[in-house]
Structure 1
Amino acid sequence: MVAGTVSALLLGLSLAGGSLATGNITEDSYFYGESPPVYPSPQGTGAGEWAGAYAKAKAFVAQLTDDEKVNLTAGTWSQNGCSGTITAISRLGFPGLCVNDAENGLRGTDYVNGWASGVHTAATWNRSLAHGRGVHMGREFYTKGVNVILGPVVGPLGRMVRDGRNWEGFAADPYLTGQMVYETVDGLQSSGVATSLKHMIGYEQETNRSPETNSEGQEVQSVSSNIDDETMHMLYLWPFADAVRAGTASVMCSYNRINNSYASQNSKVLNGLLKTELGFQGYVMTDWGAQHTGIASANAGLDMAMPQSSFWGKNLTTAIANGSMEASRLDDMAIRIMATWYLVGQDEGFPTPGIGMAEDLYAPHQRVIATKPDEKSTLLAAAIEGQVLVKNVNNALPLKSPHMLSIFGYDARTPETMDIPSESTAADNPLIINRTLTVGGGSGTNSPAYIDSPLSAIQRQAYEDGTSVLWDTVSKSPEIDPTSDACLVFINAYAGEGYDRRGLYDDYSDELVANVADQCANTIVVVHNAGIRLVDPWIDHENVTAVIIAHLPGQDSGRALVDVLYGRANPSGKLPYTIAHNETDYGNLLNPALPEGIFWLFPQANFTEGQLIDYRAFDAYNITPRFEFGYGLSYTTFDYSSLTIKQSSSSNSSTSSYPPAATTEPGGNPHLWDELLTVSAVVSNTGDVGGAEVAQLYLGIPNAPVRQLRGFEKFYLAAGESVEIDFHVTRRDLSIWDVYAQDWLLQEGPFVVSVGRSSRDLPLQGTFTF
């Protein structure tokens, strides 16, 4: 069966009727299973802040030979330790490009920091912290001579719960992800490093992400993410628009197919959605080895192949000569690449590309120290704020100068070496990693300057307090001193690139927690998790008094945790996803799609749920979560009052159905960001200690899921203090994608406005209609 036949079959299946708002596919999904052609590839215009960079890039490219233009479009293997390299054009003073992993800190080198991961950053719900993390992390890449950071990640978004790379991205919500990625891109590029936003698009599973030969010698194609047009815009494309608006220099294609066309040659996605609708001015690169065609991919909007290309080279100039590719397409590819170099200022004073990298870390190489003292506060703050307190009975936390602590669990200990393996096991269990988990595995891994483990940090605190510490990080059924004031149990949930998680819990860790809780009346559990980790087997145990979902905090893991445990930092993290009671609560979104039936060689992932992922699905199907999206406790309490809803008088556009026509800028029609509404509320700290709260705004938009996050603000309040907060709501926030008009349609109402502590704790509610 050919791919075109598969597309036709899927398109026929997609016309079954129903409503996208309830998760079914209808005739209005004009491309579901089939990707319409969009040609030609639009030329970059230098819109917005790109104007100066484009002027310089055009002047530079005008001096190039055809071979030099071609050499800009594909990487070459190098010995400098960079993940990919674009060769220099010495005669014009262009030193080439070094591109490198990863979005959570530089990988495969020394003298850099291991930063909090994407999911951990989202759990902070702190825009300024996300920006500061980007600034400092970007300076390290800059100092090491890395021109392009391969990140940040907004795909996967988190549709499939067991996805092995969910931890690299931010949140299972497009709005929160979009806010975090905007700040991250802006912060990174302000440090002179170009970002390569990834992965575009629908990359929601590792299983069958790349073509492979099965046991019968047949080639199985990459999985096809079959996404209707409304869902594409309302969920998956949403954070890409935010990142393009922030000025991301590059966008990386995903490995998978999208509506049965490979991402690297999907003209609808690259030419249509990205370069036309979003007005993207930078260049599109492949993920490593994800190019499958030559001229077809170039005409479809691909600009750079990594780490090299067997399809391009001389074939590009041959294609121009025989008319199968326009010369202007090659010029546009080169201009887009060079414009990014000028955009972030790398034409002046940038270090030699790859100067701080090395093919073999332990071979002789130049010492380039990228760490800076002023990074420490941001490193620690990010590590602290991404931890989420989800249970705290009778004020078990913070600890108050305990006489004895007993520490248990494999996750408490420091790694035996600084090598970060792709997978490690405890008790032959592939779901966990046999040391404290600070980052997930694969290309998102970073290189820490050190790892401060929980046990090490607790022992330092014990020295200050005169506390006795007993520990056993090996046994599943440890012996426990009955005089312990508290028992801390450390477990983790591992995930990494290349395979999807086998489950959301493991029996070994659950039994460990239960065995300790059976003997210790004050059992505190800390989970370091690269993705959702279920807790139902033990969280209701009468002796489990406190639980912290500690995510992936980076190298300051132990220090950050101790600050929370002892109350020097009041926990303020909120979950960026939903934790269910049982795996089955996630329904069809638990497991990856597998090849089956007539599509055995062309595996299909049909996104028939539409927009109903994570909390949207729990709300739609009335499923009670264990801990809902946006949930997180504090050592103090906050009350909400005085909801007001006011249409913005200073709006730059009317409340007409569609946004006013305008020249497309990076991110799309600029009127989508016109402020149409201000929602205000008063929040008061009614507890005894100061702390930070994340106030959340959810809107019930007509013809859309029952509630969607459309605003949040994080702020600190001293005990007894109150503040009025404002949520500024844009046209895009209040619209749905009209598949017929191919534009954002502002709904008339009524809108339901809810403000509160989480997606299910919303004490303030009101309505309005335009």
Structure 2
Amino acid sequence: MSDETGCQDSIFQSMTIGEIIARLTLEEKVAMMSGSGFYSIHAESKKWGAKPYPAGGANERLGIEGLKFSDGPRGVIVGHSTCFPCSMARGATFDRDLEWRVGEAMALEARAQGVNLLGQVCVNVLRHPGWGRAQETYGEDSFHLGEMGRALSQGSQHHNVISTVKHFALNSIENTRFNLDVHVDERTLREIYLPHFRKIIESGCLSVMSAYNKVNGTYCGQNHYLLTQILRNEWGFEGFVHSDWVLGVYSPHAAEAGLDVENPEPAWFGDNLLAEVRKGNIAEVAIDTAVRRILRTLKQVTKADDPRPSYPMSLVACSEHTGLARKVAEQSAVLLWNRDSLPLDERSVRRVGVFGKLATLENTGDRGSSRVNPPYVVTPLKGLTSFLGTDRVTLAGDEADPIAAGKAADAFDAAIVIVGYTAVEEGEYIPSHINLGQEDIPENLTSILDGARKRSNGQTMGGDRNDLRLPPAQVDLIRQVAAANPCTVVVVVAGSAVMVEDWMDAAPAAIQTFYAGMEGGNALASLLFGKVSPSGRLPFTVARDASHYPPFDTKAHDAEYGYWHGYALFDRDGRDPRFPFGHGLTYSQFEYSGLRAGRREDGALDVAVTVTNTGTRAAIETPQLYIGWPGKAAPRPKQSLRGFSRVPLAPGESAETVFTVEPRDLAWYDASQRTWRIESGLHTITVARSARDPRALSMQLPFEREFNLGL
């Protein structure tokens, strides 16, 4: 490690973990199990993440600096770091390698700013698109979550920054997250809500953050079944678990359940935990075990060799990282539909009208714990102006007066309408009495939605969405502009699914950019004018009717999480989504051929397919592998995603892509026998452009015998 950790490195070189623990007093060990200084730092700065937070593990007497935490789904929140597109946007890339590079860039900027614990890997299942913090996860499918989360974690830990995977587990409603009790049966828990966590843990992720909610009656931060039985005993996790920040712990006995660190300050650990140990109500061995996990993790990253000699501040928001942010924004945008309007021709499109309040807003996502403060943000208007020049781009109207905007639209060769949401309407739920530095949101944004949440008069901001449609004023804006200008393109800014039934017929083209990060405006210009072909794919299902999603009560204090959601639910019910999981258009066309599959002795599956670019433009294709199950031993989805790849091809070029499906990804969980089983019988192998691709290639492969994989 570099020089800044020299003192800590010295003690780990001179003493074993056991020797360090033996030298610590009980009071010191308990102190290491809590963060400290959060409230004083926050009171001084008035900003969440103004500097790294001491998050446990420190001991000044022995020279142990401990854990220095920063949140990070969109980038390191400390300082003025690179703001990448939100996690949902990056999920839309379906690109593991690109996500690994994002993780590496985050780690470089973390190290440069004194951070060694990064809370960046959020993989909670998008059970319903109304979830307020949907933008912080990758999508609705467990396999996809695991693959993307593993890449981010490994990219970060390549530079010896401890990755945190969160929120463990079943955290998918925002407004009542502090007291929600999620009821789930064992098979659903194991097959739907935990496999992605397990994949990330087994890939080497060193830290876990517990969720706020309860699972089957017990808070996650003190849930022995989750934190010890499953995480440690079954999965073999040797890192440490820390709580979510504020109200994540409700008893000192959380230490016995498997929680190692309470953050941000000791509410139930500290003096309360110390008193329980001294009374004999909690065994000191539980304290030693927690401290050992913390120290073992610190030693691992402290003594490991660094890939580079130093981590200077010049790495923060450097040109390489901002360029990466732009590339991710370009490759994450999803072209929803295109009636021969895109790409625009910059030679013939001389004058562009830009419409919508969001066109000029620095709108990178919610203003809660995942907020990043980059040195600059390129808005849609700035990006288009930079690309075409100030004389060719005009901000011509917004939803405050859709009729006037429509009248103005006729004067332009093309009209770009920017619609969607902001931190006011979705994101982390922030009660009015809590200040995370969100006060700089323009007041006029509260008028974008009818009855929008405001930041004054005792009201809140962020939280879950109750409506999956665009605000009526934005729909009116789209219709008025599109009626006047036949070359209208709608750009949707949102953290998850937005229903389009009330305006799809009016707009010739639509592209969803999610929250596209600090370089989003530049990326948008490149996409609209064909410098880059869109290649993002929806990591969720967009319904025609909101009732087709699972029940979602934003005021619930008890919720039943069932087996069915997302594309599996639509398949089961025979409902046609507006856009299926995996949907996304490009500026080219592709064909698949030569599908073949075979099994290995251990039960794993190899599948290969050839992809050909039959169009006239270079583009990236994203073939997806789905497995259809026999479903005789237990009800299973009609099909499940079990592979995906990114294939960049020039016009006329072909390439073979190969998928490998590991045995556990073929298995179902038999709760009665507490084991994973691979069914015998015919399995359907499908390679497709989406979960509802009518041109998909399929074949059947017999599994002659059942495999029992154990736990």
State TM-score, norm by structure 2. Answer: 0.85
Structure 1 pair 323–769 and aligned structure 2 pair: CA distance change class (3 A): farther
| Equivalent residues of 1:73, 1:334 under 8 A apart | yes
Cα distance between partner residues in 2 of 1:468 and 1:146: 42
Number of the residue aligned with 2:532:
569
Moved more, 629-638 or 744-753: 744-753
Q: Report the CA distance between 1:491 and its aligned residue.
A: 0.6
Cα distance between partner residues in 2 of 1:55 and 1:719: 61
Number of the residue aligned with 2:589:
637
| 267, 289, 311: which one aligns with 2:268 | 311
Cα distance between partner residues in 1 of 2:660 and 2:54: 41
Which one scores higher on RCO, CA 8 angstroms, separation ≥ 6?
1
Cα distance between partner residues in 1 of 2:280 and 2:307: 39
Number of the residue aligned with 2:396:
471
The 5 Å alignment of 1:34-45 reads none
| Equivalent residues of 2:396, 2:408 under 8 A apart | no
Q: Report the CA distance between 1:209 and its aligned residue.
A: 1.5
Is it true that 1:410 corresponds to 2:357 in the alignment? yes
| 497, 516, 532: which one aligns with 2:497 | 532
Number of the residue aligned with 1:501:
465
Cα distance between partner residues in 2 of 1:481 and 1:545: 14
Q: Residues 129-185 of structure 1: CA distance to partner in whole angstroms, max 9, x if unpaired?
A: 000000001111111111211221012x11132110111011110001100000000
| Equivalent residues of 1:571, 1:635 under 8 A apart | yes
Structure 1 pair 690–276 and aligned structure 2 pair: CA distance change class (3 A): same
Cα distance between partner residues in 1 of 2:375 and 2:281: 51
Number of the residue aligned with 1:382:
328
Cα distance between partner residues in 1 of 2:696 and 2:307: 52
Q: Secondary structure of 1:511's match?
A: helix
Structure 1 pair 54–741 and aligned structure 2 pair: CA distance change class (3 A): farther
Number of the residue aligned with 1:193:
161
| Equivalent residues of 2:66, 2:298 under 8 A apart | no
Amino acid at match of 2:23: Q
Structure 1 pair 54–313 and aligned structure 2 pair: CA distance change class (3 A): farther
Number of the residue aligned with 2:104:
135
Is it true that 1:691 corresponds to 2:616 in the alignment? no
Q: Residues 356-392 of structure 1: CA distance to partner in whole angstroms, max 9, x if unpaired?
A: 9xxxxxxxxxx88723332233211111111000111
Q: Report the CA distance between 1:321 and its aligned residue.
A: 4.2
Q: Residues 371-426 of structure 1: CA distance to partner in whole angstroms, max 9, x if unpaired?
A: 3332233211111111000111124324342121111011111xxxxxxxxxxxxx
Q: Report the CA distance between 1:294 and its aligned residue.
A: 3.2
Amino acid at match of 1:744: W
Is it true that 1:741 corresponds to 2:673 in the alignment? yes
Q: Report the CA distance between 1:461 and its aligned residue.
A: 1.7
Structure 1 pair 53–130 and aligned structure 2 pair: CA distance change class (3 A): farther
Number of the residue aligned with 1:584:
547
Q: Report the CA distance between 1:470 and its aligned residue.
A: 5.2
Moved more, 254-263 or 498-507: 498-507
Number of the residue aligned with 1:731:
663
Q: Secondary structure of 1:480's match?
A: helix
Number of the residue aligned with 1:152:
121
Runs of 4 or more consecutive aligned structure 1 residues displaced over 6 Å after TM superposition: 52-55, 346-351
Q: Secondary structure of 1:589's match?
A: coil
| Equivalent residues of 1:480, 1:520 under 8 A apart | no
Cα distance between partner residues in 2 of 1:302 and 1:347: 25
Amino acid at match of 1:225: V
Number of the residue aligned with 1:487:
415
Q: Residues 699-743 of structure 1: CA distance to partner in whole angstroms, max 9, x if unpaired?
A: 112331101100001110110011111110110111001112212
Cα distance between partner residues in 1 of 2:271 and 2:418: 56
| 147, 171, 184: which one aligns with 1:203 | 171
The two structures, once aligned, show a CA RMSD in angstroms of: 2.4
| Equivalent residues of 2:396, 2:409 under 8 A apart | no
Is it true that 1:604 corresponds to 2:553 in the alignment? no
Structure 2 unpaired stretches of 5+ = 1-11, 42-50, 430-462, 704-711
Q: Report the CA distance between 1:189 and its aligned residue.
A: 1.2
Structure 1 pair 287–686 and aligned structure 2 pair: CA distance change class (3 A): same
| Equivalent residues of 1:462, 1:469 under 8 A apart | no
Q: Residues 99-151 of structure 1: CA distance to partner in whole angstroms, max 9, x if unpaired?
A: 122321122523x1111111011000111000000000111111111121122
State TM-score, norm by structure 1. Answer: 0.79
Number of the residue aligned with 1:169:
137
Amino acid at match of 1:75: G
Structure 1 pair 642–593 and aligned structure 2 pair: CA distance change class (3 A): farther
Q: Residues 560-598 of structure 1: CA distance to partner in whole angstroms, max 9, x if unpaired?
A: 111111111111100000111122222x4344362xxxx
Q: Report the CA distance between 1:67 and its aligned residue.
A: 1.7
Structure 1 pair 468–193 and aligned structure 2 pair: CA distance change class (3 A): closer
Cα distance between partner residues in 2 of 1:288 and 1:350: 31
Structure 1 pair 558–77 and aligned structure 2 pair: CA distance change class (3 A): same
Q: Report the CA distance between 1:59 and its aligned residue.
A: 4.0
Share of identical aligned residues, percent? 29
State the aligned residue count: 634
Number of the residue aligned with 1:231:
188
Structure 1 pair 162–83 and aligned structure 2 pair: CA distance change class (3 A): farther
Moved more, 491-500 or 691-700: 491-500
Is it true that 1:92 corresponds to 2:62 in the alignment? yes
Q: Residues 231-260 of structure 1: CA distance to partner in whole angstroms, max 9, x if unpaired?
A: 111111011012101222211111111001
Cα distance between partner residues in 2 of 1:605 and 1:175: 24
Cα distance between partner residues in 1 of 2:692 and 2:520: 30
| 368, 392, 400: which one aligns with 1:442 | 368
Q: Secondary structure of 2:92's match?
A: helix
Q: Report the CA distance between 1:86 and its aligned residue.
A: 3.0
Cα distance between partner residues in 1 of 2:190 and 2:379: 42
Q: Report the CA distance between 1:436 and its aligned residue.
A: 4.7
| 95, 106, 122: which one aligns with 1:126 | 95
Is it true that 1:708 corresponds to 2:640 in the alignment? yes
Moved more, 227-236 or 187-196: 187-196
Q: Secondary structure of 1:684's match?
A: strand
Structure 1 pair 376–56 and aligned structure 2 pair: CA distance change class (3 A): farther
Cα distance between partner residues in 2 of 1:767 and 1:297: 49
Is it true that 1:451 corresponds to 2:390 in the alignment? no
Structure 1 pair 104–54 and aligned structure 2 pair: CA distance change class (3 A): farther
Structure 1 pair 590–520 and aligned structure 2 pair: CA distance change class (3 A): farther
Q: Residues 274-333 of structure 1: CA distance to partner in whole angstroms, max 9, x if unpaired?
A: 111111111111111234443421111111101112322244444344433222211110
Cα distance between partner residues in 2 of 1:530 and 1:275: 33
Is it true that 1:69 corresponds to 2:21 in the alignment? no
Amino acid at match of 1:501: R
Number of the residue aligned with 1:27:
none
Number of the residue aligned with 1:18:
none
Is it true that 1:101 corresponds to 2:68 in the alignment? no
Number of the residue aligned with 2:575:
623
| Equivalent residues of 1:681, 1:725 under 8 A apart | yes
Cα distance between partner residues in 1 of 2:88 and 2:669: 27
Moved more, 314-323 or 133-142: 314-323
Q: Secondary structure of 2:673's match?
A: coil
Q: Secondary structure of 2:607's match?
A: strand
Q: Secondary structure of 2:484's match?
A: coil
Number of the residue aligned with 1:283:
240
Number of the residue aligned with 2:451:
none
Q: Report the CA distance between 1:348 and its aligned residue.
A: 8.4
Cα distance between partner residues in 1 of 2:298 and 2:567: 40
Structure 1 unpaired stretches of 5+ = 1-51, 211-221, 357-366, 414-434, 595-602, 656-675
Number of the residue aligned with 1:33:
none
Amino acid at match of 2:26: D
Structure 1 pair 399–225 and aligned structure 2 pair: CA distance change class (3 A): farther
| Equivalent residues of 1:436, 1:528 under 8 A apart | no
Amino acid at match of 2:528: L
Q: Secondary structure of 1:769's match?
A: strand
Number of the residue aligned with 2:46:
none
Cα distance between partner residues in 1 of 2:248 and 2:231: 18
Q: Residues 591-612 of structure 1: CA distance to partner in whole angstroms, max 9, x if unpaired?
A: 4362xxxxxxxx31012x31x1
Amino acid at match of 1:118: S
